[in-house]
Structure formats: structure tokens, C-alpha cells
Structure 1
Amino acid sequence: MSQPTPALAPLPRVSRRVGAIAESATLAVDARAKALKAAGRPVIGFGAGEPDFPTPPEIVEAAVRAAQDPANHRYTPTAGLPVLREAVAAKTQRDSGYAVDPATVLVTNGGKQAVFQAFATLLDPGDEVLLPTPAWTTYPEAIRLAGGVPVEVFAGPEQGYVVTVEQLEAARTPRTKVLLLNSPSNPTGAVLTPAATEAIGRWALEAGIWVVTDEIYEHLTYDDAVFTPVLRAVPDLADRTVVLNGVAKTYAMTGWRVGWLVGPQDVVKAATNLQSHLTSNVSNVAQRAAVQALTGDLTAVAAMREAFDRRRRTMVAMLSEIDGVEVPVPQGAFYAYPSVAGVLGRTVRGRTVRTSAELAEVVLDEAEVAVVPGEAFGPSGYLRLSYALGDEDLVEGVGRVQRLLAEAR
């Protein structure tokens, strides 16, 4: 009599590749803050990187007109509406100072899709990506999902959160294929100087590696800081550079989900093929709104930047009054990234905080203020606070943190 076949070991329900992805820490903090607020707690959230302004009315009106046009009720080219790809090219010439062929533009569902598709198109398993940190929480996850290996290169507050060519060279190996740049930076607000941008770009050119540059905060700089596109600083990099951008931060359009990538034609073609199976075209209504944003003037953008600048100065001044907190002045984006190393090890309302993650929990539980711990972006010992919220909430929220940490012993 034959023996029954032994039961096979059950296969995992979720793939190892996807199961290893961590939840977006910034969105998780924002979701928890909103849930607590909905439950009646007066939580103030500094977690999400989202302008508190409404999308400018002329952009909304363009979307309304688009929704009423049957031409926008159908599929359109995967790479984007030709009129939007042309607008991206014209905007790049206007704002960045170099020419772009509309055929090398791919319109994506927000900046995150552009990030993932850039790495998915460039990386083979085991390829390394130099990732200056602190860095946005999505970058390493997108790199890993694409089969790559993020190699963190840390620059602390003593360097203004800006890595050096020497650090990058020390981290480079025969497996290094890509360098990720993000200036102005999320989470630190650091902005590469023109000289630093050129030095890093020339190093990448000589090293023969690719550059993926995320320029979504290009219009948000303060004081004497200026945004320097790497392809304007080092034009010879064009054949090995992918530029990422979108309308979310500049035009208060986070929910519209329109981003793009620009790069060499073969890379853009491959990324477009990927998108054709992934999502097809971006919503036509959102694309038409983006056309209005990119072809209109920057009056609303200037007004938002002025408000962010005012809030930036208020936040830095208030955080600097807290014992044990060091606050490099952010020069771009809308984030402060203070070091809280001087607070760690102290006891706050009976709880000893040893990491910035523990500190963020105490701040939420005891002060009802949501912040993102440094562990989301690199080493422990830091907090990220967005100043893209109303002035009154900002003052009240940071004031709560001041009063809570004044009790630290």
C-alpha cells in the first residue's frame, strides 16, 4: 500500500520582497495624528510634508473644465499628455536653465512613482545606490524593491547635513551604480551650494555613475540659498542623469498625484514600458490641472514661500530655546531637523527616553504633538518637524514641546 505524500511546507502568504517593505513613517505618523484628532484629542501634527494651502483657484478651474471635456474621459498616452510633456520641458528651461526634449519626459502618478520607476529601470539585483542621509524614508524602500542596495552616507548637523565628495568616494565600490541627490532636502531642509553641486556632479561624471536627482522642492529656498540643478552645473552628466520632480510641493497639489521624470531617451522609454503595465496614463483631469500650474505665473508660489519662511524662522527660534536641542537653520523645503541628542537619556514624566523614537512617542502621548523620529530617515537622535501648517498651530505645538521638555531631568 502506497504511503501518502508528505504535506508540503506552506508557502508564505506575502512575498519576501513586498513583506520586507516598511510602512512610510511620515504617513504613519500623520495617520495616527489624524486618528487621535478624530477621536477628540487636540493633536497638532508636524508629521506630513504637505502644504496647508489650497491648490490655487485657476488650477482647480482648469481641472473642472477638463472634467467636462469628453476627450479626458478616455485613455491617453502612457507617457503623458503631449501638452503636459511640452509644459514640463518649457518649465525646465525656464526654472533650471537647460533644454529638455518633451520626448524624454514621463508623467507619473506623483513623485513617488517617479522615484520607484527610476530605480526599477536603472538597477539590477545587487547594484548599490549611494544615499546621502538623513534621507526621505521612501528612497531606501524604493531602492530595495527594485533589487538595489542602499548605501547610506551620513552627514550630521556639524556638516549642515551635506555630504562631501570625500565621503562619497569612500563609500563607492565596484557595485556602485547610482548616486541619489535631493536638494533642497527632505528631511533636513539642507540646500547644496552651487560649488558643492558642481563638485559632486563632476565626481559622479568622473566615477562613471548615474545620478538620480529629486528636485521637487526647487522653488522653496530661503535667505541666500539658491537651488542649483545638477545638469546646469555639469551639463556633461545629461546622458547619466534622471531628474525627478512634480507639482505637489510647489503648487500645493499633493493630492492631485502628478509627477514626472526626465532622462536619457532609452531610460525614459524603458520606464514608460514599465508604467504601461503598472498604471497606464495619469488621470487626464489632474494632467490638465498640472498644465495650468506649469504654464501659469508663480505669484501663488511666492506667497506660499513667504509664509513658509515666516514659519521657519518662528520654529527655529522656538526650538532653539529648548535645553538639549540643536537646530541647524534649514535653507529649503519646509522642514526643521533638530538634533535632540542632548535630551536623550533624560526622564520625562516618569519615562526615560533613550532614542528619538521613544521621545516622539512621549511627545505625542504627553503633549499631543506628532513629530517624526530620526530613525525614519537615518540614525536616531533627531526629530523632523514640518512647518507647512498654520502659524497659530505651529506656535501652540512647539510651545507644548517646550513646556514638556522643560520637565526633562
Structure 2
Amino acid sequence: MDQQTQQFVETFAEQSHPDVLEQFDRASLEELVAKHETPFMVLDLEEVDYQYKSLQAALPGVKLFYALKSLSHPELIKRLKSLGSYFDLATIGEVELVESLGIKGDQCIHTHPIKKDKEIKRALEFGCNRFVVDNLEELKKFIPYAGQVELIIRVSFRSQQAVVDLSRKFGCALEELPVIVELAQQNGIEVVGLSFHVGSQSLSPMMQVNAVRSSIAAMKVMNSVKWKFLDIGGSFPVSYQEDVLPIADFCAPVVEALADLPEGVEVFAEPGRFISAPSMIEVISVVGKAKRGARTWYYMDDGVYGGFSGQMFDHASYPIAPLKPFDATGEFLPSVLAGPTCDSIDVIAEDIELPELEIGDILIGKQMGAYTIASATEFNYYPKPKIVVVEDIFDPETEAL
């Protein structure tokens, strides 16, 4: 048994014994299965509350701008609005979505470093005047809007400790900052802050700590700028198959580094995954099975072209557990979990060991809110999984979240 399979079996056994999905209210899940045809996703708004409040407690005084791209369901956005969240926008579509939900432009920041002119105009029409740039060509697009905008310059800090490196595509070198600031000042454009994003699903806070320190040092050197903001991006991790630091422990050294900020500089963060991932699960069922060589193939009614698309685009490996109890001490067999499409790449889990499953059995994919339905397709004309919104699927008698 290879290491990946062994880890899956151990995780599977933990989740299957003594109770299935012990942190969930099993009765509620079974009731949902009785009401809704699989596949479907369940968005738990109570979990949105929990994640948002946990991160806010870990980053006291930091304004949280939720990254809509991770999961943009209107009910999630409305819940975050009620909690006092701000919002990180990147497109006209996202502008129009939050506008339709009663969110104001001054509660948002436009963080895409590359924009069309019409995207700038639409954001300003909405009332959002804070934009991110990372190069001279992008800065030049704002010359016609001098006096109307506040610009934040994104700096690149590459991190090998992040699952998704976001500084490869965006961000300038620290050495380029003076040139960008000088051109802005020559054209009457107000530069007000620095931003960075060390990568999504960062497994260590130290790169973020180093980026904070470097950004603060740059601000102190470039004292001709009236600095208002430092945007520390996202990166806050959640547990998929691997353990991650508790959010308070992850943020503690970041908060310590922020203590050296010049007076009056406000701190932003852009959480997406940390809030959205744990807030949604997917319910799928076995629709077929076949013995192929030494392995049993189970064909599920959703796969990597649908709700599990994050396995392809987000490098995520989602915990999966059965709804019905299995004896964790029983026999585990070489198995494959495959999606429903005609494409052979559509495999959720390969070379794993599972107890015997039957057609109609229900499995639950956990931590499936971030970058899943957002990148799902309708390949083969399979519809995207619908989303069922609930207030609580967690067992009130447990504290495991």
C-alpha cells in the first residue's frame, strides 16, 4: 500500500468509526438526501459565520475583504455583509453581483492588476475607487482618472510553501516601486498603499511575515508617499487531507510583524478559501461499478468536470467519507472513484483502498466550497451540482468543525 493510499485509509477509517462524518448531523444529511437528487452541494451559513469570526479574531483590527472568486453564492455574500465583511472584486460581473445585493462601492477594493478601461469605468460608477496595479503600463491607464482613484501597488513575493503560487503572474519587484510611484506622482495619481499575495493555501505563515516586513521597510524608505493601506492578501490555509496550523497560530507571527507598521496605516486581508472551503460539502452517489483487473471502479454522479473541478484547477484533494457506517476494521479493497463523463481524465481518486460499496451508496466530499463550483463546467451536458443552503449541518452536540 503506497503512502497516499495509506493516508486515505487512515483518514477514511477515522471518519467512519465510531460514527460516520462525526462532526456532521447525520440525520440532517439523510433528510437532505431524501429531498434532493444527487449530486448536490450544501452551503452551511453557520460555518460561514464560524470561519469569518475565527479569522477576524486571529487578525484583530484587520479589515477582511472576502475574495468573491472562491465562491460567489449570493446567500454567502449576504451573510458576510451582515457580519461586517468587505469585498475583494476583480471583474465587472463581480461588481454587478455585489451591487445587486446592496453592497456599496466604498466597501470594496478592485484587486485585479490588469484591467480594461471599461472595467475601471464600471467600478468607479459603482463607487469603488481603490484599484491595484503592478506595472507602468497598467498605471498609465489611470492617467485619465487622476484625482478620482487611489492606487495600491502589488509587490511580488514568490513562495514555495504555497500550494498555488499567485506571485508568478502578478506583482512587481520591490526595486521597481520607486519608478512606478514617480510616474504616478508626475501625473497627479495618488498612490496610497502596497499589497501582496504570497499564494493560496500557504502551509506556513513565514513568507507572509517576510512580505509584511519587506513592505513596511519599503514604506519607511519611500516616505514621500502618504501611505494609507497595506493589503496582506489571502493564503490562510484550511485542512484538506493534510493538517494545517490552527488559524490563531498561523496569524500570530503575522500580527506580530504588523505591529511595526507606520502610524495610521490600515491593514486589509483578502480571505477566500478560508471562509468558503469549509462552508460547503458535496453529496454524490455511486451510479455504477465494475471490476477492472485488481481494482473495483465506482462511477459517481459528479467528478472533476463538475464539483470536483478544484482537483484540476486548485490542486486540492478533498476528504471523502461515506454517509452510512462502515466497519473501519473490515476489509479495504483496491478501488477507483470515477466521475460520470466520457473522458478518462475524469477520476476523483485513484489507487485507493475502500470498503465494498454498492450502487446507490452516498459519499460526502468535505471542504468543497472554494474553487469548486466556481470552476465547474457542464461537459457532456451534465449540469453543475445545485447548491442547497442550510443554517447548520453540524451536530450541535459536538464542537468539531
Q: Which has the higher helix share?
A: 1
The normalised TM-score by structure 2 is 0.30
Q: Name the one with the larger strand percent.
A: 2
- Taking structure 1 as the reference length, the TM-score comes to 0.29
